[in-house]
Amino acid sequence: MHFADSSRKLWVLHGEAAILFTKLTVVIEQNKGDWITVTNQANLASNLFNVINPNQTKRLLGQEFKHAIFDATEAFNLDALAMLIGTLVNGSVLILLLPKDFAHWQDYDSLRWNENACPITTPNFIAHLTQVLAEHNYAINHQFVNQFPNIDSTFYNFQEQQNVLKQLLESTKTIKVVIAKRGRGKSALAGQFSHYHHCLVTAPNKNSLTTFFRFAKTTTPFYAPDELITANLDPFPEYLIIDEAAMLPLPILAKLIQLAISKHRKILLTTTVEGYEGTGQGFLLKLLADKACNFFYLQQPIRWHADDQLEQFSDHLMLNGMLSFDTQMLKKNQTIDYSQVDRQDIQALKQIYYLLKNAHYQTTLVDLRRLFDAQNLMVWQAKIGDQRVAAAVTINEGNLTDALIDEVWKGTRRPKGNLVAQSLVAHAGEKLAAKLQSLRINRIAVIELYRRQHIAQNLVQSITNYAEDHGKDFVSVSFAFSDDNYRFWLACGFNIVHIASRKETSSGTYSVMAIKAISQAGHILVEKLQHKLQRNSYWLKQIIDLPFAQIVTSDPDQGLTNEDIEELYGFCYYHRPYESTYAVLCRLHSYNQTQTSKIDLPILSALITNNTSELPVIQQMQLTGKNALMQALKQELAGWLGYWHSAQP
């Protein structure tokens, strides 16, 4: 155990969870505190009254606690640990429980990020954890040393915060953004700001606003983001405060900002840099690029001392600001080497993670765990000398059994992994996509200084060459549609084969799937999927806000085919999604209208007339909700399919 001059302490113990918790009861009884306990264990001692599951730790955000236990004996949830550490105040002890033996330990947290139904060993992460513990002089112990820091846990240093508050009040910009690491007092600062203006506050979770309301004007109202967007408040307060803005889905955040601007009101945003949710600064810079903003930064912690060793340990373990890049420009005739990264080269994997983190605001600690130890994953790099300037991550997909593919098509199973392969079966209705062997590009990034020099394109070509050499049928990618993304993948030789019918929550735009065929079977798959997309786009362009004329040429031939009938059966008698069957339903409606002895399909007609808007149809048909609407539609279709089948020769 390590007890240097630090405001917060870390104890590292290992053994069996039940035994460790039993012994800890004495420590807890002798030392008053909140003792937040993050664990999957059940039936713990009665004096452990603040027990929370690792996947529920977001509920702790914005609050402050003294003393905690983090149980990693079965699963090491790095996100949960990051959140917990950020809530602990000066004078706290964090007790980290590790398994008795790492040699054959299987980490149940891998079920979150590894494409396997069973937990796996995580040797790279364990090596990283062990190295960080050693570098910070934390020994893994069997015995307890009941030694607690004798420090005033109410220590706060508000000087920097007060300076920034003064700057905020003097700023005339419409949007003010406060950016800081955890524990710097962003929420407290926002609360103090509410005393000077008429404000309302919103946040991803009201429970995370405990600190905000401790400092805020007591009459400051809270609205959940969705509620605020639809509330039509009049009058609207002078300021909209959005706490932990980077945790909100991009489209929700954009709507909130637009709402305030449309009412000629101002906005105060707070967000976390290098948090578990990704790099909040990059997130906001992307969203606010064309808006009048002032950015304010808090550097000094207020929940703990500036030299806090628990924060240093946390930053090191989670690679927060621990690495840097050489930013020299690429010189002419300088050789760029494209290669696969050795998955046992932990230092290289750390640098790849940091590269991805700086390039993508959505890169999180889950990506770090995946890079370290996920199975069925390959990592690629572009290097100039010793410097990595680009990276990519690929995942093997396909080669599923016919029985499993049928269940995926029916919507009765959706096993882990095979994102593109399964989606093309489940949503595009093409079973061949999961039968063939493919390589999916999961991530690709280039350091900003080296972009627009064809490095990413050449890296994709290296991946394609590997796929061809190893008998793959195609390379795939799924990306959030934008003009830049679309042009890039087109330049890499990919063909758009499927467009999602709903916007992604995280990006606020539509997910697009593209394929680069390699084998003859791969070319056949692309041809089939493109033909289906050309037929479906005739109807999809009415409900999906994308430049279809730029992406695909619609096929005017909208006759009902045997394949369409099969998809109608899949929707009616199995669990194929309504959105995936929409174009086929439109063709059925059009076909039915031309028949002399047409079958009455009132629900289908109402849905198509309302461009899939369900609420008016539910009200018109006096149904109880969406489930009832879908059941009524299926009954209607069952009648038509029965009639159609009886009419066949």
Q: What is the DSSP secondary structure assignment for residue 567, as one 8-state letter?
A: H
pLDDT tens-digit map of 516-567: 999 999 999 999 999 999 999 999 998 898 999 999 999 999 999 999 999 9
Decide if 511 contacts 476 (C-beta within 8 A): no
Nearest-CA neighbor of 223 among 211, 238, 235, 241? 241
Nearest-CA neighbor of 201 among 237, 255, 248? 237
C-beta contacts of 560-563 below 8 A and 24+ residues apart: 560/587, 560/588, 560/591, 563/429
| Residue 491 scores a pLDDT above 60 | yes
pLDDT tens-digit map of 217-246: 999 999 999 899 988 898 999 999 999 888
Q: Where are the domains of the chain?
A: 9-135, 159-298, 337-344+375-551, 562-647
- In this structure, the chain runs to a length of 649
What are 443's strand-pairing partners? 393
How does DSSP assign 397-436, residue by residue? EE---HHHHHHHHHTS---SS-HHHHHHHHTT--THHHHS
Count of CA atoms in the C-beta half-sphere (13 A) of 642 = 7
Burial 282-321 (b: 16+ CB within 10 A, else e): bbbeebbeeeebeebebeebbbbbeebbbbebbbbbbbbe
| Residue 150 scores a pLDDT above 90 | no
The model carries a pTM of 0.87
Q: Tell me how far apart the alpha carbons of residues 371 and 125 are, in angstroms, rounded to a whole number.
A: 9
Decide if 343 contacts 379 (C-beta within 8 A): yes
Which amino acid is present at 608? I
pLDDT on residue 328: 56
Provide, rounded to the nearest whole percent, the portion of the chain with pLDDT above 90: 65
CATH (one of 3.30.9.10, 3.40.630.30, 3.30.56.10, 3.30.310.80) for 337-344+375-551:
3.40.630.30
Decide if 472 contacts 438 (C-beta within 8 A): yes
**Omega of the bond prior to 99 within 30 degrees of 0, cis?**
no
Decide if 416 contacts 110 (C-beta within 8 A): no
Average pLDDT of every residue of the chain? 89
Decide if 424 contacts 433 (C-beta within 8 A): yes
Token readout for 558 is: 């909208």
Task: Give the residue with greater pLDDT, 463 vs 386.
Answer: 463
- In three-state form (DSSP H/G/I as H, E/B as E, the rest C), the secondary structure along 56-114 is HHHHHCCCCECCEEEECCCCCCHHHHHHHHHHECCCCEEEEEECCCCCCCEECCHHHHC
Q: How far is CA 184 from CA 156, 158, 179, 181, 298, in A?
A: 10, 9, 9, 6, 6
Q: What is the DSSP secondary structure assignment for residue 282, as one 8-state letter?
A: H
Q: Tell me how far apart the alpha carbons of residues 15 and 101 are, in angstroms, rounded to a whole number.
A: 8
Q: How far is CA 162 from CA 95, 191, 272, 473, in A?
A: 33, 12, 19, 61
Helix (H, G, I), strand (E, B) or coil at 80: helix
pLDDT tens-digit map of 127-148: 999 999 999 988 766 555 556 6
Q: What average pLDDT score do residues 419-433 get? A: 96
Hey, do 9-135 and 159-298 end up sharing a CATH topology, with the first three levels equal? Answer: yes
Q: Tell me how far apart the alpha carbons of residues 357 and 171 are, in angstroms, rounded to a whole number.
A: 31
Decide if 580 contacts 599 (C-beta within 8 A): no
Q: Could you tell me whether strands 437-446 and 474-480 are parallel, antiparallel, or unpaired per DSSP bridges?
A: parallel
Residue whose pair of structure tokens reads 């002798």 in the numeric block: 30
Q: In this structure, which topology does domain 9-135 adopt according to CATH?
A: Rossmann fold (3.40.50)
pLDDT tens-digit map of 356-392: 887 776 688 999 999 999 999 999 999 998 889 999 9
Q: In this structure, which topology does domain 562-647 adopt according to CATH?
A: Four Helix Bundle (Hemerythrin (Met), subunit A) (1.20.120)
| Residue 487 scores a pLDDT above 90 | yes
Nearest-CA neighbor of 337 among 466, 448, 462? 462
CATH (one of 2.40.50.140, 3.40.1280.10, 3.40.50.300, 3.55.10.10) for 159-298:
3.40.50.300
4 falls in which pLDDT band (50, 70, 90)?
Answer: very low
Which of the residue ranges 135-139, 228-232, 262-266, 501-505 has the most confident prediction, judged by mean pLDDT?
262-266
5 falls in which pLDDT band (50, 70, 90)?
Answer: very low
Q: Tell me how far apart the alpha carbons of residues 606 and 603 are, in angstroms, rounded to a whole number.
A: 5
Decide if 393 contacts 106 (C-beta within 8 A): no
Task: Give the residue with greater pLDDT, 150 vs 104.
Answer: 104
